[in-house]
Amino acid sequence: MKDTKMTLPDLFAMKNSGEKIAMLTAYDASFARVLDAAGIDVILVGDSLGMVVLGYESTVPVTMDEMVHHARAVRHGVKRALLVGDMPFLSYQVSVEEAVRNGGRFLKEAGCEAVKLEGGIEVCETVRALVRAGIPVMGHIGLTPQTACQLGGYKVQGRDIDSARRIIREARELERAGAFAVVLECIPDQLAGVISRELAIPTIGIGAGSHCDGQVLVIHDLLGLFEKYVPSFVKVYVKLAPQIKEAVSSYIAEVKSGSFPDSAHSFTMDMAIEDILGDVES
Ligand code: KIV
């Protein structure tokens, strides 16, 4: 593992050498510090923030201000990983100018090194403008959660010949537009394999099988912290929610019974309390 700061050329080199890219989401400095120390290559401040941290029903309501606020917090915890900010719904669709201004906020205000945005051919002009402005862009195709309604819900994409061909075309166009990588979400393993072989830029899969150049998961899913909905492609490496609940129940019981805090978790002083009380009274 490279122990210096991850850069875009490092990701290309990893693709070319066959070393897989490991990417995870983070939304605050504490988590980011742990992920970074573990050696994660890329940290995405995902707009999944809306669901796993802010309690929204989808990613649609997430604002630029919320994203920048959390991305800045993550920045404080990251030394090595490449930091990518996720452009929320309507921060890049209204006009190219607005997209460049908002993309720039991730770099200027939050210290991100790149942005990610969802969409295929329809966002290529925006991708070109961002890249021209010096803002590296990661694409995101297949299942695009911001427009899941138009896709008929959170469903696997590219299972029929037309949509598979469309996804291949979108990947090619994003590469041509200057994207440095592309997330492939919820598409068949074989389709992700074809795209990964054809593109010179790395593909990062989520629910897209093992042939991608890298993988990404939402950190709350991997740690079993978000139990409301766990997609079938998620591997839960540890179930933290029940462990946290057990720890909190123990705390509540000890506070109620008076067994916390005990002497090991309290401060004492060398003076007799009577001496202090005498002073206070005089
Ligand atoms: O918002 C997010 O977390 C994402 C990834 C999981 C790809 O877009």
Question: pTM for the complete prediction?
Answer: 0.95
pLDDT at 20 over 90: yes
User: What residues are paired with 140 via a beta bridge?
Assistant: 119, 183
SS3 76: helix
pLDDT at 272 over 90: no
Same domain for 150 and 272, yes or no, is no
H helix or E strand, kind and range, residue 107: helix 96-108
Same domain for 251 and 114, yes or no, is no
Tens digit of each residue's pLDDT (9 = 90 or more) over 157-192: 999 999 999 999 999 999 999 999 999 999 999 999
Q: Find the residues whose C-beta lies inside 6 A of ligand 1.
A: 25, 44, 46-48, 86, 183, 206, 216, 218
Q: Which residues contact 265 (CB under 8 A, 6 or more apart)?
A: none
CATH number at residue 119: 3.20.20.60
254 CA from centroid of ligand 1 (Å): 39
161 found inside a domain: yes
pLDDT score, position 150: 84
226 found inside a domain: yes
Tens digit of each residue's pLDDT (9 = 90 or more) over 70-88: 999 999 999 999 999 999 9
185 is catalytic: yes
Same domain for 173 and 89, yes or no, is yes
Compute the CA torsion angle 173, 103, 75, 89 (nearest 10 deg).
-80
Same domain for 180 and 247, yes or no, is no
Same domain for 234 and 247, yes or no, is no
262 CA from centroid of ligand 1 (Å): 44
Q: List C-alpha distances in Å: 172 to 68, 121, 211.
A: 30, 9, 17
Same domain for 262 and 209, yes or no, is no
Return the residue whose CA atom lies nearest to atom 2 of ligand 1: 46
Select which of 66, 113, 175, 185 is catalytic: 185
1 found inside a domain: no
Tens digit of each residue's pLDDT (9 = 90 or more) over 195-254: 999 999 999 999 999 999 999 999 999 999 998 889 999 999 999 999 999 999 999 999
State the residue range of the domain holding 251: 243-281
3 found inside a domain: no
Task: Report whether 24 contacts 204 (CB < 8 A).
Answer: no
Same domain for 157 and 271, yes or no, is no
